[in-house]
Amino acid sequence: KEEVRKVLGKLKSARLKESEVYQNVSIAPDRKAVERAVNGALRAKLREKIELEPGKVWRISGGSVVEDGTSLIVFGLQETTDCTDQESIKSLFTHLDEAPVVSKVKRIGKVGEQVRPVLVVLSTKEAVRNVLGKSARLKESEVFQTVIIKRDMT
């Protein structure tokens, strides 16, 4: 029981309610069951959207806090060994006459036969709006004709 109390001590620092943890624990919890439940509750808490400033909604993504609505998904951007994804994204934005501050660029999905989409996190919502507004120009491009840019809805 003492070990269970130590694990539950984590709740106070994370500001979790015991009910959030115990909904996933059996009737007679042991230390490992409580740890799993605490970790699950912490992960659920981190996935929640939080309001740090009035009018701005933030979320935790990959261990860092980012403003919600600043992510894009780029489909159809070929994976090459000639340049990095960051360079490809920079070239894409240059083609759109945009120079947003890019916080993160990451391929998502499993490596396979299909081209994986690219998750791009920009610094502001305004930069996302500007890029999305100009993304229709890509259809007229020879290089980026197959590229589609969408807002990240996750």
Residue ranges of E strands in 62-101:
64-67, 71-75
Q: 50 near 58, Cβ under 8 Å? A: yes
Q: What are the Cα distances from residue 125, in Å, to 48, 102, 151? A: 19, 12, 10
Q: What angle do CA 101, 105, 110 make, to 5 degrees?
A: 165
pLDDT digits (tens, 9 = 90+) for 84-119: 999 999 999 999 999 999 988 999 988 888 999 999
Determine what percent of the chain falls in helix, strand and coil, rounding each to the nearest 5.
40, 20, 40
Q: Using alpha carbons, select from 143, 126, 144 the residue that is nearest to residue 135.
A: 144
pLDDT tier at 70, thresholds 50, 70, 90: confident
- The C-alpha atoms of residue 117 and residue 106 are separated, in whole angstroms, by 9
Write down the mean pLDDT value for the chain.
76
Looking at per-residue pLDDT, the higher value among 23 and 88 belongs to 88
Q: What is the value of pTM for the model shown?
A: 0.60
